[in-house]
Chains A and B, each alone.
Chain A
Amino acid sequence: MKRIKNFMLFVALFATAFVSCETENPPPEKIFNKVAYVTNYGSYSGSKSEISIYDTDSSLITHDAYKAANSVDFTSNIESMSIHEDIAYFMSNNGDKIDIVDAKTLQASVNPISTDITKPRYFAADGNIAYISCWGDVDDWNVMANSYIAKIDLSTKTVAKIALPGGPEGVTIIGNKLYAALTTTKKIAVIDLSSNDISYINTLAIPYHFVVDDAGYLWASMVSTYTVPVGLDSVGLTQIDPANNEVLANVNFSSIGSNGFIHISSDKKTVYALGKEAWPGTASSIYSIDVSSQTLSSSALVSGESFNGFGVNPENDNIYVLISPSATENGSLKIYNSSGSLIDEEVTGISPKHVVFYNIEQ
């Protein structure tokens, strides 16, 4: 019995010592599974979207991740995906809705938001409020008079509309202002989020997407479209000072693709832009723009055919190029390092369009 008491005392003292030691040590390092979610747009009239997951550590890709998580196909076309506070949002068309899923598991526990959501495009959020560009019912693609920003309370899922004619596409929030690229005009809309007052920044070409550089300046892609053709000397990228919404620089990139996809490096010193050769050329490319010198690279970092979108991994600046040969067959993902050497290639679903990088905590 005495032996048992001694043993218990020893255990108690050891445990006390162990606990006291533990409180002095740093918490154990979190383990993340680093993935790239690839949204496959699918075919508008046929097969719909799916999510492919590329594990950036193991270099393995898995497909149909949404169905695997929810036991149902996605069944509409994902325009874009955003992750905000560990919740993933899919903006999709045909049917028109915003799906809300756990960013770690892609599992949905609530129904999509579809009321007052028509042709949703891109997402920006500040705290508990999200702003989604929506094209609305389109009578005239040259005007898109019914487009708007859907302001969503992410707690209650209620939607309020801020009318914004002109077909807003890319959106980003800087300070108390929402910047929205209007795809039928040479203007960027700036919405004061306190008053909903709208002002405009005039641009040389049609704005599409935004990134913010290391100095906090806004970069917008500038393209020419079928409905509003613009001279090749006016397209490329525009740098804007958000403090006064003045245009600081225009960088000409004459072969910028009409979807205006741009991304920024992890240090926010290099902007990457997707280029498409003018018909009858068929080549696609990715060029880089040095933020400090505001100059375009003299040659393409990556070249190929049928680039449909791309992303830049914030961990290592590897470039994930999404290739879509047609709307009736699967596409592919090609991964290049920051100097343009091919690292890996995988098959994706139909029309892969966006890459969203996410670290899943284990």
Chain B
Amino acid sequence: MPINKFAILVFGLSLSAMVWSQSLDTLITLQEVQVIAEKEQYLIGSKIETLDSVKLNSVLGGSLTEILNLYLPIYIKQDAGGLATIRFRGTSPNHTAILFNGININSLTLGHSNLSNIPIFLFDEVKIQYGSSSSLYGSDAIGGSIYLGNNPEWDKGYNVGVQQDIASFGSCFSGLKLGYSNKKVKYSIKLFYQKKRNNFPFLNTAVRDFEKNEFAVDTQKNAALSNYGVLQELYLKISDKMFYYLKLWYEDNWHQIQPNMSANYYGGSFKEIQNKHLRLISGFKYYSGKHKLTTDFGYINDYQLYDKNDEQLISTNSLIANLNYFNTRFLNGNLNTGVNYTHIKPDVYAYNGNIEESRIDIFSSYKRELIPRMSMALNLRESIVSDYKSQFSPSLGLDYLFVNSSNQTLHCKFSVSHSYKIPTFNDRYWYPNGNPDLLSEKGMNYEFNTKYEFTRNKNSFHIGLTGFLMEVDNWIQWVNLDIWRPRNIKKVQNKGIELHFENTVQISGYRLNSGINYSLTKAIEVKSYHNQSTSTGKQLIYTPRHIGNAFITLDYRKWYLLTTASYTGERFNESYKTLDGYFLLNTSLGKNFHFKKNIISVNFKVNNLLNKAYQNQELYAMPGRNYAVSIKYSITRLKFKQNEKD
């Protein structure tokens, strides 16, 4: 670890220790600090799904990949562990923003995130916003956005959580959560370590033994991974009107690059990648009546080492400063206006010269009720990037509450938004392939949402239907010139419908929670700026038209049984051959044991219950039926004598 990162880590931990030793006897009523949700209110026309802690817990020590596969109709292209990229509504992996505390953590060199390197264990809440939101979050937010967050709870005393998972094929996960909060201070630290050997057996249908006339029986090689990380969060109430927060997230992700089924059997280049990410974000929030002022300062360092070769180092450093002003009674509505500044300095072995980039975003968002039951939000954002002077991205959202009675509501929403993606640093500066003349990718998104919710006693259900139309122009792809170079080569039109249904029923001690998600996506290359294209008019590769999943949870006297099913439809590979769709079934059985404030949870899980042989990505083997056992211990609201005076 570089010395500067180590120093920051020590600084963060030292600060934490100081907080633990502070006097804790102040009696002050605190306002709730909602770091993530402040901007979400301006996306009133958009579809937003929240994965709560119950759903997050169901993937045990899994990553963002597993949770999205289980509960949402979004295609993740993945191998058996090390690498997973999202394709939201038929867009590319570079078209989804992954936001931590509102800051996009996508790689600035590659342009996207590896979802397998984002552990769910570190977060209490994951929100998925469908469609474009560049007007709020800037570059990348074309197909969708994912927010990672935690819900700070004040005055809960000490809490401790320990988790240990053991699973098939040499997998284990160890996690520790420690936290403390009173009315003035909240601090939490979460640490995890994960390891997978991923040496699962499979029938290698890519390799025929011509002398025996049968497929080879094989074992997956070079697909191991090892991840560890720490996230600590500190919130301080400095005065009645001022808060301070600090978040430090450090990740060390190592994985071997899984070979395809042919290389796995015959041999080939077996390589590995190590990534390290340091994300440090700190800021102040000042409240005064209807006014609120926030500042954020961030430092992000991304580091990648390919196959232990120090001469192929890829690293970026970003400094971020945000200033936000909120007014809750501005022209009878809510106003947010502000400015973001980001300074980026890459250190990449394949770039020439001393490259630096500054980005300044100026934005305003306004929301108010237009007429009774109808709300409107208007967002305007102007982004100025070193070589991309103006990226104007407005959006407009409307929400009409058709039905609003004591036990049922019906919302109808509409939004239209403009979005963009600044070309990645690799696209522009990789020597000799980079193309500094690339235009930014531009998107237009239209969508219509309805959501009906019904609640009676402890029973509830809601159903949502969404239709969307999106066009992405100047789509960047690497093409074959004398050498491979990125160019703006096509315009893509994506349209589709999405269905969401969830139901909760409680009958004499039983609680049944079930849900269905489905999406139909038609993503077509409608125009090519490359004379030789053979893809115009066709569905984009690795974009299933149909994708869906369903879950059902049965709770009874501390026991719970969860079954999930997912279907990934047929999709084209690069040569426009059809890859088979596949249906996967998982189930888990668990029980919670309560002893006063202590909870022990035991869970047994079977993945791929039907032992389906399938390929998410062509020629990459996936594990058959596999098992996991998880034991969790937690104690919450623990207050010692000194605290009990509070």
Contact = CB atoms under 8 A, between A and B. Distances in A.
Q: Do A and B come from one complex?
A: yes
A254 interface: no
Nearest to B434: A279
Interface string A85-112: 0000000011111000000000011111
Given A43-B574, A96-B263, A327-B484, A305 B532 contact: yes
Interface stretch (B170-178, B330-338, B533-541, B591-599): B533-541
A94 B532 contact: no
Central interface residue in A42, A47, A349, by most chain B CB within 10 Å? A47
A257 B265 contact: no
Contacts of B576: 329-330
A97 B481 CA distance: 28
A328 B269 CA distance: 21
Interface in B201-227: 205-211, 215
A138 B307 CA distance: 11
Contacts of B267: 95-97, 114, 117-118
Given A73-B206, A329-B533, A330-B534, A95 B573 contact: no
A97 B268 CA distance: 9
A39 interface: no
A95 B532 contact: no
Given A47-B618, A279-B481, A76 B574 contact: no
A40 B541 CA distance: 18
Interface string A291-308: 000000000000011101
Interface in A271-301: 276-280, 282
A354 interface: no
Contacts of B565: none
Contacts of B205: 72
B54 to A, nearest CB: 37
Contact of B480 (A46, A117, A280, A325): A325
A94 B264 CA distance: 9
B575 A97 contact: no
Q: Is the interface of A mostly helix, strand, loop or mixed?
A: loop
A325 B479 contact: yes
Nearest to A256: B482
Contact of A282 (B215, B481, B577, B619): B481
Interface residues of B, number: 48
Contacts of B573: 46-47
Contacts of A119: 269
A97 B531 CA distance: 35
B478 interface: yes
A141 to B, nearest CB: 10
B293 interface: no
A306 B575 contact: no
Interface string A247-266: 00000000001100000000
Contacts of B261: 75
B79 to A, nearest CB: 10
A226 B574 CA distance: 27
A347 B534 contact: yes
B483 A226 contact: yes
Contacts of A330: 534-535, 575-576
A257 B533 contact: no
Interface in A36-55: 40, 42-43, 46-48, 50
Nearest to B215: A72
Contacts of A73: 206
Contact of B437 (A137, A257, A280, A332): A280
Contacts of A139: 309
A42 B208 contact: no
B276 interface: no
Contact of A110 (B210, B268, B477, B479): B210
Contacts of A276: 481-482
B432 A94 contact: no
Interface string A21-43: 00000000000000000001011
Nearest to B485: A279
B482 A329 contact: no
24 contacts: A46-B574, A46-B617, A47-B619, A72-B208, A76-B268, A95-B266, A97-B262, A109-B211, A119-B269, A138-B269, A139-B309, A226-B483, A279-B432, A304-B531, A305-B531, A306-B532, A308-B480, A326-B479, A326-B480, A329-B534, A331-B534, A332-B532, A350-B575, A351-B480
Given A47-B577, A94-B262, 19 more contacts: A42-B574, A70-B210, A72-B208, A75-B207, A94-B268, A95-B264, A96-B266, A96-B267, A96-B268, A97-B266, A119-B269, A282-B481, A305-B531, A324-B480, A325-B480, A326-B479, A329-B533, A330-B535, A331-B534
Q: Considering the complex of A and B, which 6 residue pairs feature the smallest CB-CB distances, nearest first?
A: A95-B266, A276-B482, A75-B206, A75-B262, A95-B262, A95-B263
